[in-house]
Amino acid sequence: MMNGIRLIKPYIEYADVEAEFREVFETGIFTRGSNVNKFAQKLGGVVGSEYSFLTTSATTALWISLKAVNVSAGDEVAISDFSFPATANVVEDLGAKPVFIDVNLDTFNMNVNDLVAKITPKTKAVIFVDAFGNPTGLHEIKKVCEYYSLPLIEDAACALGSKEFNIACGKIADITCFSFHPRKLLCTGEGGAITTDNKDWALWFERKLLHGASENSSGKLEFNDYGFNFRMSELQAIMGLKQIENLQFIIDQRARVQDIYIAELSPLGFRAQKAGPSALHNFQSLVFTVPDEMDRDSLIKHLKARSIETTIGTFCQSNLPFYKNKYGNVQPNAARLETKTITLPCYQDLPTERVCDCIKEFFDLSVAGSR
């Protein structure tokens, strides 16, 4: 795809960070420096959280967040089923059982009625996934969690910049986890973050993310606990700082591409992911449900042959071989979305006309003639 249309391009170039990178190499401060602190503070300011921490990925952020709410072997954690497997994997790794909650076919997000039906005395926490950055239903799930006194962890890997009821993702759930993978709006290569308003959890994260150490009054580290190294580097933080200033511009650009896709593809029967009236969607990924009579995988192959990169929406975790063999109980809506959704290219200067023309070409060949 080097000479074709890529799925995504990061909104940053080497020239944007060259001077700051050079300074890091000259000083030799690659970790625990000023840029990490600045990026964490800037992120907290953007989402409105009291506390923010940078991590190596959203996966490590989710894993340590489950540790923070004391999830352990024998517990159950209710999770959105339509998501990248990391959401289930972190639960499984701790010896707990991921309880797969089916999703809404329009929003792709957790179905509140299915959640309520599957809460048991063993349920220790709930992980809500903002599917492709869509926060629709987050407050509704929060009310359920409050009623049952369950901590709500938001897998907001895709949701930086999204809001519901004008409150930013990162401020709504008890603990929120973000990603800065190259597919996300902000790219630091790899990387993630945790935000929370809970002081006790914040003190715990601060200690655990520094090998279990705390600084005493003289600045010396005291290891009064055990911990981990999930820290982001200075170089990554510089990349994040450069992009976060342009977050709204990035969202606006992606919304513009989404509008073009909707106008061109809806008449063919493609259905865009829907957001609720109180939700502001950042359009992290532009995901459409293909027409009922269309074979999604054949469409992906057709576009690849024309040097256009696309991919599936994401996975029905309960239908992945490991989880299906261990737990069974595949969720029907998530399973349907896994086979019928496609992620389309989205980046600055994208030739949307070429993408749409190639999709229309496939439609005419495979669908229109059969109607």
Does 229 score more than 60 pLDDT? Answer: yes
Classify residue 316 by its DSSP letter.
B
Query: Rounded to whole angstroms, how far apart are CA atoms 99 and 235?
Result: 38
Are residue 42 and residue 162 in the same domain, yes or no?
Answer: yes
Query: Are 130 and 156 contacting, i.e. CB atoms less than 8 angstroms apart?
Result: yes
Query: Rounded to whole angstroms, how far apart are CA atoms 271 and 29?
Result: 49
Domain tally for the chain?
Answer: 2
- Domain presence at residue 144: yes
- Domain presence at residue 334: yes
CA 57 to chain centre: 11
Are residue 239 and residue 341 in the same domain, yes or no?
Answer: no
Does 2 score more than 60 pLDDT? Answer: no
221-239 mean pLDDT:
95
Q: What is the 3-state secondary structure (H, E, C) of 39-99?
A: HHHHHHHHHCCCEEEEECCHHHHHHHHHHHCCCCCCCEEEEECECCCHHHHHHHHCCCEEE
211-224 mean pLDDT:
88
- Domain presence at residue 225: yes
The 8 Å CB, 24+ separation contacts for 143-149 are 144/112, 144/115, 144/116, 144/119, 145/174, 148/119, 148/123
The bridge status of strand 97-101 relative to strand 123-129 is unpaired
Last residue of a domain, one of 187, 212, 244: 244
Are residue 310 and residue 167 in the same domain, yes or no?
Answer: no
Are residue 68 and residue 166 in the same domain, yes or no?
Answer: yes
Are residue 107 and residue 253 in the same domain, yes or no?
Answer: no
Does 1 score more than 70 pLDDT? Answer: no
Q: What is the pLDDT of residue 348?
A: 85
Q: How confident is the model at residue 364 (pLDDT cuts 50, 70, 90)?
A: very high
CA 172 to chain centre: 15
Average pLDDT value for the chain = 96
Q: What is the 3-state secondary structure (H, E, C) of 13-29?
A: CHHHHHHHHHHHHHHCC
Q: What is the dihedral of CA 162, 164, 165, 171, to 10 degrees?
A: -80
Classify residue 42 by its DSSP letter.
H
Query: Are 186 and 46 contacting, i.e. CB atoms less than 8 angstroms apart?
Result: no
Q: What is the pLDDT of residue 371?
A: 58
- Domain presence at residue 7: no
- Domain presence at residue 1: no
21-42 mean pLDDT:
96
69-81 mean pLDDT:
98
Looking up residue 123, the CATH number of its domain turns out to be: 3.40.640.10
Q: What is the pLDDT of residue 215?
A: 83
Instruction: Supply the range of the domain harboring residue 271.
Output: 247-370
Looking up residue 336, the CATH number of its domain turns out to be: 3.90.1150.10
| Predicted TM-score of the model (pTM) | 0.96
Residue 313's nearest CA partner among 132, 95, 138 is 132
Query: Are 159 and 169 contacting, i.e. CB atoms less than 8 angstroms apart?
Result: yes
48-62 mean pLDDT:
98
Query: Rounded to whole angstroms, how far apart are CA atoms 257 and 347?
Result: 8
Does 4 score more than 60 pLDDT? Answer: yes
Are residue 143 and residue 115 in the same domain, yes or no?
Answer: yes
- Domain presence at residue 5: no
Are residue 199 and residue 253 in the same domain, yes or no?
Answer: no
249-254 mean pLDDT:
95
Last residue of a domain, one of 244, 270, 289: 244
Last residue of a domain, one of 244, 259, 274: 244
Q: Which residue has the higher pLDDT, 1 or 103?
A: 103
Q: How confident is the model at residue 3 (pLDDT cuts 50, 70, 90)?
A: confident
Are residue 37 and residue 172 in the same domain, yes or no?
Answer: yes
Are residue 219 and residue 348 in the same domain, yes or no?
Answer: no
Are residue 165 and residue 84 in the same domain, yes or no?
Answer: yes
- Measured from the Cβ of residue 7, the count of other Cβ atoms closer than 10 Å reads 18
- Domain presence at residue 8: no
Are residue 260 and residue 352 in the same domain, yes or no?
Answer: yes
Residue 52's nearest CA partner among 265, 232, 304 is 232
- Domain presence at residue 321: yes
Are residue 98 and residue 25 in the same domain, yes or no?
Answer: yes
